[in-house]
Chains A and B, each alone.
Chain A
Amino acid sequence: MKKLHALSLLATCLLASATVTWGAETPTITISKSDKIAIAIGALSGADGPQVAKILQNDLAMSGYFNVGPAANAGFIVGGTSSGTSLAGSVTDRAGKTVLSKTFNGTARGKVHAYADEIIETLTGNKGIADSKVAFVATHTGHKEIYVADADGSNVRQLTSDGTISVGPKLSPDGTKLVYTGYKSGYADVYEIDLNSGARNRIIKFPGTNIGACYSPNGRELAVILSKDGNPELYTTSAGGGSPHRLTHTPGVESSPTWSPSGDEIIYSSDDHGGPQLYRISASGGTGRLLSTGHGYNTEPNWSPDGKRVAFTVREGGFTIAILDLGSGNSHTVGSGEGPAWGADSRHLIFAEGGALILLDAQTGQKTTLVSGLGKISEPTWSR
C-alpha cells in the first residue's frame, strides 16, 4: 500500500508539474482537474490491438480517475502486446520508467478489463470496476428475465428463459454466482445460478414467499426475507440453503437486506413504523436500529464496499436515488432512478432509470447509459 500511495503522490506531482511545464500559455498553476491523472494509450500490438486500445480507453475513462489524452500531455503511457487469450501489459511514466508490467489472461474483453483494473489500483490505490459483472431484470421477451453483462455494458447475456417472473437478482461478490427469486413453481423461490457452468438450483423453497436473497461479503451466507413463520422477516442462512436463522420479529414488512463489508451487520428496509425506513442490525441478531434519512419512503438499500455509505431509493413523486453517509448521518439525493448498487470502488453506482441501466460517478455526477433497448430494466446488481 505504501508503494501505491507513493505512486499516487508521484502521479499528482507529475500532473502538477505537467501543468506548470507544458501549460506554457497559462501563468497560474491550475489544479482544476487535479483529481484526474493524465494518461495516454500508447502502442498496443497484436491482431486485436486496436480493440484492446478501445476497451482500455473506455475502462480508464469510465473509472473517473483519468483524463485519457495524447501522449505529449500524459503522466503515464499504457502499452502492451496482445496475443489470443493473453495480454502483456506495460505502463511507463514520462521518464520512461516502468511502473507496471504484468500479463493478463482471459477472454477478449476480460483480459483488457483485468489490465485496466490493475492500472487503476497501481496508480490510484483504489479498486477498479472494469473487471466486474452487472446483472439486472429486463422485460425484452415480454416476461421478466435475468440478464448479466460486463460492467461497461457489453457482453449482455440472457440468463433465465422461464417465461414466468424472474426478479431480484444478486451477484456473489466474486461474480461467479447469482441468486434470484423465480416463480417457476408458482411460488416465489430462491434459485442460484453458477455463472461458469450454467447450473441452476432451487435453494430456498419454504412455504410462502422467499425473496431478497443477498450474498454476504465472503459469499458463504445469504441474507433473505422469508414469510414461512407468518410474516415477511429477515433471516440469514448458509449459501446453498440450509436452516435459516431469524433476525427480525416485527408485524411489518422487511425487505432488501444488504451486508456491511465485514459481514457483521445488515441494513434492510422495514415498514414496521409507517412508511418503509432503513434499519441496521447485527448479523447475529438483536434489535434493528432506525437509520434516519429524512425521507418517508426508503427502500432498496445497498451498502458501499468501503462501509461508509448506503445508497437507497426514496419515493417523492417518482423514485430518487439517495446516499446516506453513515459517519455523519447526513443524506443527499443524486437524481431520479431506482435500485442503486455500488461498484467495487465505492465511487460508482448503477441503477435503473427510464427503463435503462445507468452508471453514475457519484464523485463527479457524470452519468452514462450502460444498457438500454431491452424493454424495461430494473433491479440491477453489481459484483465486487
Chain B
Amino acid sequence: MKLIRLLSVTAFSLALLTFSGCVHGKNGAGGSGSGASDSDSVNGMALPERQDGVSFTGSNVDRNKFRPIYFGFDSHEISGEERGKIEEVANFMKSAPNNLIIAGFTDERGTPEYNRGLGERRAQAVREALIRAGADGSKIQTVSFGSEMPADSGSSEGAWAKNRRAEFGVVR
C-alpha cells in the first residue's frame, strides 16, 4: 500500500505539473489547441486515499448543497451552461476546509458495466474542472453509480436528461 500511495502521489504531482489545459476530453475536445494527441502516460489526476467511514451515501454528507452538473447523451463533456455551477463549487472548495465526493450517474439506456464506467468518467471530468478552477484535488473523491439511483425513474427524454448527472456530496 505504501508503494501504491507513493505512486499515486507521484502520478498526481505529475498530473498537476503537466496539466495546463491539456487534452482530457474524448476525441480531444476541450484541448488547448496544441494539436498534440493525448498519448501521455499520465492521464487524469490520481485520486487521494479515501476517508475511512465516509462515503457519498453516508449521513455525514450533504448532498443538496450544490446543483448537479448535467451531461449530454453518452458524453462526459461539461457544457458551457454548466460552467457556472463548477465555479460555484470551486469557490466554496477554495475557502472551506470540507472534503468533497462527486458521484457520477447515467441514464438507463446503456449497458450496466459501461454505464458504471461512464458515470465515473463524468465524476472525474467534474473533478478535473474543479481542480482547473483552483480547487484542491487532494480533497476530492469520486464514485460512480452508473444507471442506479436515477433522479427521475421515468423513461422519457426529460427523465433521461435529469439522470445524466454528477452530484456533489460535501463531507461535513
Contacts and interface: CB of A to CB of B under 8 A. Distances in A.
A208 B47 contact: yes
Nearest to B148: A165
Given A209-B144, A272-B26, A273-B27, A227 B47 contact: yes
A132 interface: no
B47 A243 contact: no
A256 B113 contact: yes
Contacts of A228: 8, 46-47
B94 interface: no
A67 interface: no
A313 B111 contact: yes
Contact of A243 (B3, B74, B127, B148): B3
A208 B142 CA distance: 5
Interface stretch (A37-45, A123-131, A183-191): A183-191
B171 to A, nearest CB: 12
A229 B111 contact: no
A252 B24 CA distance: 9
Interface in B35-69: 38-41, 43-50, 54-58
Interface in A172-200: 181, 183, 185-188
Contacts of B163: none
Interface string B95-129: 00000000000000111111011111100100110
A211 interface: yes
Interface of B: 3-4, 8, 11, 15, 23-27, 38-41, 43-50, 54-58, 74, 76, 109-114, 116-121, 124, 127-128, 141-146, 148
B74 A299 contact: no
A271 B24 CA distance: 13
Contact of A208 (B39, B43, B120, B146): B120
Interface string A309-339: 0000101000100000000000000000011
A188 B144 contact: yes
19 contacts: A183-B145, A186-B57, A187-B143, A205-B50, A207-B141, A209-B142, A227-B44, A227-B47, A227-B144, A229-B47, A230-B127, A249-B43, A253-B118, A256-B113, A271-B26, A274-B26, A300-B111, A313-B111, A315-B110
Interface of A: 137, 144, 165, 167-168, 181, 183, 185-188, 205-209, 211-212, 225, 227-233, 243, 249-256, 269, 271-276, 297, 299-300, 313, 315, 319, 338-339, 378-379
Contacts of A250: 38, 43
Contact of A207 (B41, B48, B57, B128): B48
**Residue with the highest number of chain A CB atoms closer than 10 Å, among B48, B116, B124:** B116
Given A187-B50, A251-B26, A274-B27, A232 B121 contact: yes
Contacts of B145: 165, 183, 188
A227 B26 contact: no
A229 B11 contact: yes
Sort A-B residue pairs by CB-CB distance and give the 8 closest, nearest first: A186-B55, A230-B44, A231-B44, A207-B47, A253-B117, A209-B120, A255-B117, A230-B45
B135 to A, nearest CB: 14
B43 A299 contact: no
A229 B44 contact: yes
Contact of B120 (A205, A253, A300): A253
Given A187-B50, A232-B121, A249 B41 contact: yes
A300 B117 contact: no
Contacts of B141: 207-208
A188 B143 contact: yes
Given A185-B55, A186-B55, A379 B8 contact: no
B44 A211 contact: no
